[in-house]
Amino acid sequence: MVEAPRLTESASAVFAVLAQAGSATRPQLASLAGLSKPTVSSAVAELEGARLAAHSGTASSGTGRSAAVYCLGPAAGAVLAVDLGPALTRVRGSALDGTPLAEATASREDAADAVREALGALPEGVPLRSIVVAVGDVLAPDRRGSGMRPATAKAGPVFDAMAVALPPGVPVHLENNVNCAALAELHEGAARGRHTFGYLRIGVGVGLGIVVAGQVLRGSNGAAGELARLPYPWDDGREPRQEALEEYIGARSLLRRAGAAWQPSDGPCPRTTDRLFALAGQGVRPARDVVARHAVDVGRLAAAVTAVLDPGLIVLGGSTGADPQLLPGVRTELARLSWPTEVVSSTVGDSGTVAGAARLAVARGVQTVTQTARAED
CA pair distance 35, 12, nearest whole angstrom: 12
Helix, strand or coil, per DSSP, at residue 88: strand
What count of other Cβ atoms lies within 10 Å of the Cβ of residue 150? Answer: 23
The per-residue DSSP string of 233-279 comes to --BTTB---TTHHHHHHSHHHHHHHHHHH--GGG-SPPSSHHHHHHH
The one-letter code for the residue type at 92 is R
* Listed residue (370, 353, 307) closest to 334, CA to CA: 307
CA pair distance 339, 200, nearest whole angstrom: 17
User: Which residues have C-beta within 8 Å of that of residue 68, sequence separation ≥ 6?
Assistant: 25, 26, 55, 57, 58
Q: Where are the alpha helices (DSSP H) in the chain?
A: 9-21, 26-33, 37-49, 111-121, 156-163, 177-188, 244-249, 251-261, 273-281, 285-309, 327-337, 352-370
Angle at 150 between CA 161 and CA 2, to 5 degrees: 65
Domains of the chain, by residue range, sit at 9-75, 78-180+353-368, 190-347
Question: In Å, how far from its chain's centre is CA 47?
Answer: 30
Output DSSP code: residue 50.
Answer: T
Fold for 78-180+353-368, please state it. Nucleotidyltransferase; domain 5 (3.30.420)
CA pair distance 129, 186, nearest whole angstrom: 24
Per residue of the chain (377 residues), give pLDDT as tens.
566 678 999 999 999 999 999 999 999 999 999 999 999 999 999 999 999 999 988 887 656 678 899 999 999 999 999 999 888 999 999 999 999 999 999 998 999 999 999 999 999 989 999 999 999 865 554 433 344 455 544 567 778 888 889 999 899 999 999 999 999 999 999 999 999 999 999 999 999 999 999 999 998 888 899 999 999 998 888 889 888 999 999 999 999 999 999 999 999 999 999 999 999 999 999 999 999 999 999 999 999 999 999 999 999 999 999 999 999 999 999 999 999 999 999 999 889 999 999 999 999 999 999 985 444 44
DSSP H or E stretch at residue 205: none
| Edge-to-edge strands, sheet with 53-60 | 23-25, 66-72, 53-60
- Mention the CATH class of domain 190-347: alpha beta
Q: What is the CATH number of domain 9-75?
A: 1.10.10.10
Q: What is the pLDDT of residue 58?
A: 84
CA distances from 12 to 46, 50, 76, 240 (A): 10, 12, 12, 52
CA atoms within 13 A on the CB side of 128: 25
Indicate if the alpha-carbon torsion angle 147, 150, 152, 155 is positive or negative.
Answer: negative
| C-beta separation of 252 from 204 below 8 A | yes
pTM: 0.87
Q: CB-based burial of residue 192 (10 Å sphere; 0-12 exposed, 13-18 middle, 19+ buried)?
A: exposed
| C-beta separation of 355 from 127 below 8 A | no
**Fold agreement (9-75, 190-347):** no
CA distances from 42 to 26, 30, 77, 294, 324 (A): 10, 11, 22, 61, 53
The one-letter code for the residue type at 313 is L
Give the strand pairing for 206-212 and 148-150: unpaired
Across 39-50, b (16+ Cβ under 10 Å) vs e yields bbebbbebbeeb
